[in-house]
């Protein structure tokens, strides 16, 4: 996998308007793993992309009425089949972490890359997702050497009490072993 001008060359691009300039673009030093499914615990369909591009129809599902107005994004989404969609170039700030803190530093969006795994806290992730996540992570660590093994975390680690993803179904030991 290669990164060119902030874009993963193997990813499908779907540009999100929910991005802005990082305060310090050379300080990309954290990788945050998330999960998302729309509707909750249902996979497939265009809804995640629609949410990140501000075009989710609130009338299409009862749950969407609560989230359609959110202005959120992530750098990448890895779906259940291992396909990658990139919404924001890595040198830009994606709006994935919200109120967050890592090692005493607030506003993790400023210095992190966010990767959404299509999934849910208590549903196992697919083998293909782990493989693709590991490949992407290795490429990111080469491109952004401030991201080290100790600086790869879950959303729950930077927003404890507020967020639970990627959840107990995410096998951190397996993922970390794949990085070695």
* pLDDT of amino acid 175: 98
- Please identify which of the residues 60, 101, 116, 143 carries the catalytic annotation: 116
Q: Say if residue 110 is exposed, middle or buried (CB neighbours under 10 Å; 0-12, 13-18, 19+).
A: middle
Mean pLDDT of the 89-97 span: 98
| 3-178 fold | Lysozyme-like (3.40.80)
Mean pLDDT of 55-76: 97
Segments making up each domain of the chain, as ranges? 3-178
Indicate the pLDDT class of residue 109, thresholds 50, 70 and 90.
Answer: very high
User: For residue 92, what pLDDT band results from cuts at 50, 70 and 90?
Assistant: very high
Does 41 qualify as catalytic in the annotation? no
Taking 90 as the threshold, does the pLDDT of residue 143 lie above it? Answer: yes
> What is the Cα–Cα distance from 39 to 100, expressed in whole angstroms?
25
Q: What is the pLDDT at residue 25?
A: 87
Provide the mean pLDDT of the chain.
97
């Amino acid at each position: 996998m290669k990164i060119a001008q902030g874009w993963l060359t193997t990813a499908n691009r779907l540009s999100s308007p929910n991005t802005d300039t990082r305060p310090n673009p050379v300080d990309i030093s954290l990788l945050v793993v998330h999960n998302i499914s729309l509707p909750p615990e249902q996979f497939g369909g265009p809804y995640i992309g629609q949410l990140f591009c501000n075009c989710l129809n609130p009338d299409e599902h009862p749950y969407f009425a609560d989230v359609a107005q959110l202005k959120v994004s992530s750098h990448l989404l890895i779906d259940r089949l291992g396909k990658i969609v990139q919404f924001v170039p890595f040198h830009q700030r994606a709006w994935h972490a919200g109120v967050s803190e890592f090692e005493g530093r607030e506003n993790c969006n400023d210095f992190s890359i966010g990767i959404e795994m299509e999934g849910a806290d208590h549903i196992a992730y697919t083998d293909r997702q782990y493989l693709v996540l590991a490949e992407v992570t290795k490429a990111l660590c080469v491109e952004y050497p401030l991201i080290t093994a100790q600086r790869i975390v879950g959303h729950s680690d930077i927003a404890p009490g507020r967020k639970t993803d990627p959840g107990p179904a995410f096998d951190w030991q397996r993922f970390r072993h794949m990085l070695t």
